[in-house]
Amino acid sequence: MTGLLGRGPTRDTLLLSPGRGAVAFRVSRSSALLTAAAGTAALAVATVSLTLGVFPIGVGDVLTVLGGGGTLIERDIVLNDRLPRALTGLGVGAAFALSGALLQRIAANPLVSPDVIGINSGAAMGALVVLLILGGSGLQLVLGALLGALLAAVLILLIAYKRGLHGFRLVLVGIGVAAMLSSATSYLLTRADINRAMSAAAWLTGSLANRGGLHVAIIVTALAVTVPVLIVGSRHLRLLELGDDLTRTLTGAGQGRKVVLLLVAVVLAALATAAAGPIGFVALVAPQITRRILAERQVGLAPSAAVGALLVVSADLAGRLLFAPTEMPVGVLTAVFGAPVLLYLLARAHRIGAAG
């Protein structure tokens, strides 16, 4: 973007225009700095992960391969094995974080995320139906995860909606729906063939092992489709936090924008689940880290995505290093570190409610 128009309403804000037109974008200095720092760190961790494995490759050799050089063996290992894993981790982390940030802003509640309220469980359930009952894979699994997430979201909204979306009502209903879906998932596993059940159980933990070009294509497509919508729709997130009545009074808009943003959040969570399994707590934790660093001055979608990518690739790298020669699935580590954050947010919400 070019054409700097000048400072925005605060010293931290700049107003940018893509040209001479009337459209302008407000950019936060601190938000841009956090995005650049977290994004650079995520890329650095991903690059280091390309060097690790049964056949170690130096960072310099990895960069040579990425530049088009290297031996045939190095190119095969890096490009066909390790690079898809790293790219999937970056994309999945960004997608989960964006989904969580959207839901938390729309519901005005830090406890709302696709894994907590059952959207991830719906996606996992839909994918398992394809894997265990229909015997499908690939794009069929993607469609199953997307359909499952959409059905779960519709069910949650139908039950939770009462003169608008209220944060704690949404959380309680979502936890109940997630519990029902988890029970259905367990039932499917008990009725499946032992080999398929073991494969599905490993997938349910959330893992980046054995990722390939299809998984990269899934998450890249998800981000390519949803990010342009977010660029336009993110301007309305702060207004949506004010409530339906006040938003309608200030903008004259109905529920259309909220429905579109909710749909984007569901699609991101569903396709991220299809690509790497239901990796827990990234969608919950990444937006909270971002909001605390930025002191909640900005919507923070871009920095949340960068922080989410950093969390996933870092957890994956830690799972490979700390438990070598075996690997700990990334979903296990994110749950270990994410669960205390959830408990903290619950305790904080209780203290605020008691003080009120």
Q: What is the pLDDT of residues 225-257, one digit of tens each?
A: 999 988 887 767 766 665 555 455 544 455 567
Q: Are 219 and 226 in contact (CB under 8 A)?
A: no
Tokens of 191: 């009725």
**Residue 36 binned pLDDT confidence (cut-offs 50, 70, 90):** very high
Q: DSSP 3-state assignment of 27? A: strand
Q: What is the pLDDT of residues 83-135, one digit of tens each?
A: 999 999 999 999 999 999 998 888 877 878 888 888 989 998 998 888 888 87
Q: What is the pLDDT of residues 42-83, one digit of tens each?
A: 999 999 999 988 888 888 888 899 888 888 998 999 999 999
| pLDDT score recorded for residue 39 | 95
Q: What is the pLDDT of residues 320-330, one digit of tens each?
A: 888 878 888 89
Q: Are 14 and 7 in contact (CB under 8 A)?
A: yes
Q: Are 284 and 337 in contact (CB under 8 A)?
A: no
- Cα 93 from Cα 98, distance rounded (Å): 9
Q: Give the global pTM.
A: 0.85
Q: DSSP 3-state assignment of 55? A: coil
Q: What is the pLDDT of residues 303-347, one digit of tens each?
A: 999 999 999 999 999 998 888 788 888 988 988 887 787 777 767
The structural domains of the chain, ordered by start, are: 32-56+85-355 (1.10.3470.10)
